[in-house]
Amino acid sequence: MRGATDAAVVTVLGAGTMGAGIAQACVLAGHHVHLVDAELTALERGEAAVRNGLERLVQKAQLEQAGVERGLALLLPTTDLPAAVAAAEVVIEAVSEDLEVKRSLWRLVGAHARPGSLLTTNTSSLSVTEIAAFGPDPAGTCGLHFFNPVAVLPLVEVVRGERSSEATIERAVAFATAIGKTPIVCRDTPGFVVNRLLIPYVNDAVQALDEGVVGARDMDAAMTLGANLPIGPLALADLIGLDVTLAAIEALHRETGDPRYRPAPLLRRMVRAGKLGRKSGEGFHRYA
């Protein structure tokens, strides 16, 4: 195995919010990154997101201007998944959170991946063990769960699938560390660590709002001013996206059958009404 800090060929599957952020972190660490998407427009958006992300680091004096061009030179956006996967020493799957999409994608990965490559999924709410079983090498596969925005949040949850080998976990930890992240290793249980604690908290806040305990603005003020959290739970739900929040609490409920994870009815009503938070301009708060 190569050293953790050697430049590697990394293939990121999915050029959306997470794929672009992960690709940015990888080029900054000197890796060659194939950024793959099925949609050309998504790929172009992903490439632009990496460029903008690097420029933002220059504005914040965290990167020299030359670093932007250096980073972009390491980025290869492509729709040619077979070639990108065949070239990869590390595969990071970050396509849409849909089990059927992931199933067919991982079958393709299986047809093209080189033996011994580190295979990872960035899923937030699906089972890493199940996804790994779609691919070619469950022992060589684990979860590599980044947080949004990737450029800002240092944590990576390295998720141990039921069949992940110890060597795979060690490689994933070394890889995450070498791209400047702080990994923690956890078991493959619903929500892993952060979402298991955070999503029920947000869901509880929505339920309390629906019960008229307090208004939205004061609920957020309560938790920022009284618990010293950087953001209130409803503003956080708006940031995550109410649809994503609902899917996450539904997954916890479905997987565990535990009634304490029952989705707040107000959350469902808002998603049905298209109030998805920041991305739709309205959630628990309004956005210009």
Ligand X SMILES: NC(=O)c1ccc[n+]([C@@H]2O[C@H](COP(=O)([O-])OP(=O)(O)OC[C@H]3O[C@@H](n4cnc5c(N)ncnc54)[C@H](O)[C@@H]3O)[C@@H](O)[C@H]2O)c1
* 157 has catalytic annotation: yes
The one-letter amino acid code at 5 reads T
Least Å from the CB of residue 221 to ligand X = 24
CA distance 84 to 134: 19
CA distance 90 to 223: 40
3-state secondary structure of 34: strand
Per CB under 6 A, does 105 bind ligand X? Answer: yes
Per CB under 6 A, does 242 bind ligand X? Answer: no
Applying the rule CB under 6 A, the residues between 201 and 230 that interact with ligand X are: none
- List the one residue from 27, 94, 158, 235 that touches ligand X (CB under 6 A): 94
Per CB under 6 A, does 127 bind ligand X? Answer: no
Catalytic residue among 117, 122, 124, 127: 124
CA distance 21 to 18: 5
* 31 has catalytic annotation: no
- List the one residue from 11, 24, 120, 124 that touches ligand X (CB under 6 A): 124
Residue 52 CB neighbours (<10 A): 12
Q: Buried b vs exposed e over 164-200: b needs ≥16 C-beta within 10 Å?
A: bbeebbebbbbbbebbebebebbebebbbbbbbebbb
Q: Which is nearer to ligand X, 73 or 99 (CB)?
A: 99
Least Å from the CB of residue 98 to ligand X = 8
In which residue are the tokens 């930890």 written? 173
* 93 has catalytic annotation: no
Least Å from the CB of residue 211 to ligand X = 28
The one-letter amino acid code at 111 reads A
Per CB under 6 A, does 15 bind ligand X? Answer: yes
Query: Could you tell me how many residues make up the chain?
Result: 288
CA distance 161 to 176: 17
Per CB under 6 A, does 16 bind ligand X? Answer: yes
| Interaction site with ligand X (CB under 6 A) | 13-19, 36-39, 42, 94-97, 101, 105, 122-124, 145-146, 148
Name the residues annotated as catalytic: 124, 145, 157, 195
